[in-house]
Structure 1
């Protein structure tokens, strides 16, 4: 028999069942329904459902068949009009037979069979061979998997072990040692440089945080409708399964799980851990699947990668946060908190949203070799189990998760200290760069000033050369006369420098000693060239007047003596061209022309 594709929907009065049976004979079908049981048969298809509510046969039932699409549509009246049937999209649980609520063992000894007659009992052989009893200690194997119901699996799969989980020899490793080894591996894997790089250069992270997966819109719609109607049962379904997902659910074999309270706690906490890893994978790849999707999910979930059994929601969040900061490409704490809020939304949407995520994980693992082993250990059982979970249980789990807080200090990786140190280093680098920029600007300014002075010097030298050539042309006149002032300056340029005391001064003297001998003052004056020309012209004229009078020597000597006692920076020598403009003749230090004139007048006398 073939189980056909089917779909259930409801309104306040009817339950509608749509069954797709292509190539079936419409004239040969049979329908049976009573209470919670529904059966449909059309060769070669057979469908048996256990409904979440009771239906009744009262003459209002209807059935129709679309020959083009091959779909039977059956409307069944509800026994209690207005009753809401929960879990109509949980196809695997609907396919299961009505479960027995008895706690009796499946195999038990009947009373009649225990009363055997002595006549039919065979004679006991007292001479049978006996074997001495030896106490054997079987190898202790620690359980793992869904509800810790499996053990010994990885003894048969040693080749695939390293590609699926991180722990070695899980059958011989207790839960506490697994946790200790996991924490040590995470601490060794954490890279501060990678974390700080994502912390400061977070453009790609901000882009990923803006992505909106399908559950965000569904959660907004559900919140808006609940705020308007305040009636949860009247809301339309916000999670719709595709035909591929429905086919996945039909292929699952329904089974029941005998779980104690501790095992159920491990299952709920493991579910949170798996959903956190799945939310991270969907966000960083923006909903697309790639070859790393399987690795991301199983690597970020300690339940899948280390066969971890958690004891609290806070431990789950800390484990997930540490693994996000140690293993994947993007290691940012904002991605941890966003996956946390996404998981809360999924749980708030109900078990349909949780089942849709688990079916997607199942598909990812099925297409990745050898990750399919994790489907056998965890995901398939989760897909079957979640369909039977009561909605109020998931609502309580969602509320507890929402109340749990998570911060960087809980990671145990000194993230806040690392960030503070990195910020200090960054501020120091900025200060050094700013200081370097200021010094560079100062250097550029000094270079520009130097270049300006060099340009002015070159300009003045060129003007000096031009003035020299002009002087030579003007000094040689037709009658051979030479300008007296230019002749004096020409002699002063070539003649040795003699002061009033008869001392000889070299032409390369760069500074003039002050009378007290303690300091030296440069002879070059910073005064403008125009003023220097006027001062020099006045000194020459006064010297010429003094040279004509004999008694002027004493006056000149007194003036020179006063200048020696109070030295002032000497101006550069200038000459006047035909236009009367002052030009540099020499930039080297020069003596006072009055001293030279005094000495020349004495020689003439």
Structure 2
């Protein structure tokens, strides 16, 4: 557990405890007040403070979390109004464990009932089993975790990295070592690595996870994958675009923000949106639009801007004119290469044909317009928000995309992007894993087995 940075102040009525705990889910915070003992737990942070006087929780007590600053401000009422709490600036004293009162140790000479023990309690205690004795002893101890005064932030010569929607975020992966985030490919270096370093790490990780035998097995036995390819997404066949009550409620909970992106940033946002929709389409198609507990992992693993904080564009062509927002076919293909690679290296079903179908889904979703795109983003947000770890990607990417698509994206540009994706071509050679050779080897093996069966039958 991490002891967070904190400070305490007071008014005549209450004590205010300000705790710095960035990148946490405020709904998971646990606060307990027992007289002069205050404790707070929210993974991975734990804080226990011993005050000189007693506090109470009443209607005036509050706890407010500001995700933009990462501070949780807890206001507790003084049991005796107007009483002064001394030494609130002495952090080591507040963190010190509560002194334990040791009772005198008495040696038991005899287990027989005496005048001092008429009920024979000593004898009954000795009859307890070892497990019962452990429970009794534990109940008599005041277990307290050791805490140290958190060190102040040290100035760094390296500027913290910015990431997420329009590079608006930082500090969300400071304590990533304390959370089991299987999606994060950067570890603690997410806060310091450059975009080039993230991209290199992403490509290396994809190469490490690539498994030729897995791909060949799915290519040889693809009956179920063919069923997934034939499935039709309900959003693409449903003409009703009216939002339901759940979607309207989610809409009202979105942040109120304004964005002023440059033309280049706007261009990249459209490309990033396409890669997020690809991951959504893959999960929707492989689960038949019925999300599973693995859906959050699947979506995050297949999205480069989530797992490696590496959004498009990936095509280094200086001649491309982004000011007109005309989507270049080469850049569209390059943006999907990373999505294809990840769909062939990480999830359960690894098929190039399935990846092609998911790209077709993305094109059709975009061609349907903002309402359908927004609905798909809301479903993605709902999946991520209900996960204990991956909700962070909803905070730094999906929330903003939901707002941006509603207020800033145009149906015309979405349709242009959808048309460009539909007409684009992602070749097997561009994946870099010699897929053609592996598929030829599978076909040769299958044809050889078929010839042997025919010979035996004859």
Q: Distance in 2 between matches of 1:397 and 1:422?
A: 36
From 233, 239, 248, the equivalent of 1:213 is: 233
Q: Distance in 1 between matches of 2:173 and 2:284?
A: 29
Other structure's SS at 1:339 match: helix
The higher relative CO (CA closer than 8 Å, separation ≥ 6) is in 2
From 426, 431, 454, the equivalent of 1:411 is: 431
1:362 aligns with 2:364: no
Residue 111 of structure 2 corresponds to none
1:427 aligns with 2:457: no
Tell whether the 8 Å contact from 2:172 to 2:392 is kept in structure 1 after alignment: no
Residue 271 of structure 2 corresponds to 269
Closer, same or farther: CA 331–374 of 1 in aligned 2, 3 Å? same
From 330, 350, 359, the equivalent of 1:331 is: 350
Q: Distance in 2 between matches of 1:427 and 1:403?
A: 34
Residue 178 of structure 1 corresponds to 198
- Aligned pair count reads 285
Per-residue deviation, residues 466-512 of structure 1 (Å, max 9, x unmatched): xxxxxxxxxxxxxxxxxxxxxxxxxxxxxxxxxxxxxxxxxxxxxxx
Residue 243 of structure 1 corresponds to 245
Return the offset for 1:408.
Answer: 1.7
From 400, 404, 424, the equivalent of 1:385 is: 404
Q: Distance in 1 between matches of 2:336 and 2:180?
A: 26
Residue 366 of structure 2 corresponds to 347
Return the offset for 1:142.
Answer: 2.4
Residue 215 of structure 2 corresponds to 195
Residue 142 of structure 2 corresponds to none
Tell whether the 8 Å contact from 2:374 to 2:402 is kept in structure 1 after alignment: yes
Residue 308 of structure 2 corresponds to 306
Ranges in structure 1 where 5+ consecutive residues have no aligned partner: 1-135, 222-237, 439-605
Tell whether the 8 Å contact from 1:310 to 1:316 is kept in structure 2 after alignment: yes
1:278 aligns with 2:280: yes
Return the offset for 1:164.
Answer: 4.1
Tell whether the 8 Å contact from 1:317 to 1:406 is kept in structure 2 after alignment: yes
From 250, 258, 261, the equivalent of 1:259 is: 261
Higher Rg of the two aligned structures: 1
Q: CA RMSD in A?
A: 1.9
Residue 161 of structure 2 corresponds to 142
Q: Distance in 1 between matches of 2:244 and 2:335?
A: 31
Residue 186 of structure 2 corresponds to 167
Per-residue deviation, residues 509-544 of structure 1 (Å, max 9, x unmatched): xxxxxxxxxxxxxxxxxxxxxxxxxxxxxxxxxxxx
Other structure's SS at 2:403 match: helix
Tell whether the 8 Å contact from 1:199 to 1:332 is kept in structure 2 after alignment: yes
Closer, same or farther: CA 435–416 of 1 in aligned 2, 3 Å? same
Q: Distance in 2 between matches of 1:417 and 1:241?
A: 47
Per-residue deviation, residues 151-191 of structure 1 (Å, max 9, x unmatched): 23212444237334222211221111211221121112111
Return the offset for 1:393.
Answer: 2.2
Q: Distance in 2 between matches of 1:145 and 1:161?
A: 20
Closer, same or farther: CA 432–165 of 1 in aligned 2, 3 Å? same
Per-residue deviation, residues 41-92 of structure 1 (Å, max 9, x unmatched): xxxxxxxxxxxxxxxxxxxxxxxxxxxxxxxxxxxxxxxxxxxxxxxxxxxx
Tell whether the 8 Å contact from 1:148 to 1:263 is kept in structure 2 after alignment: no
Q: Distance in 1 between matches of 2:255 and 2:451?
A: 68
Tell whether the 8 Å contact from 1:164 to 1:370 is kept in structure 2 after alignment: no
TM-score in terms of structure 2 length: 0.59
Return the offset for 1:427.
Answer: 3.1
Tell whether the 8 Å contact from 1:175 to 1:309 is kept in structure 2 after alignment: no
Residue 418 of structure 2 corresponds to 398
Other structure's SS at 2:258 match: coil
Return the offset for 1:391.
Answer: 2.1
Residue 321 of structure 1 corresponds to 340
Closer, same or farther: CA 156–189 of 1 in aligned 2, 3 Å? closer
Return the offset for 1:347.
Answer: 0.5
Tell whether the 8 Å contact from 2:219 to 2:442 is kept in structure 1 after alignment: no
TM-score in terms of structure 1 length: 0.45
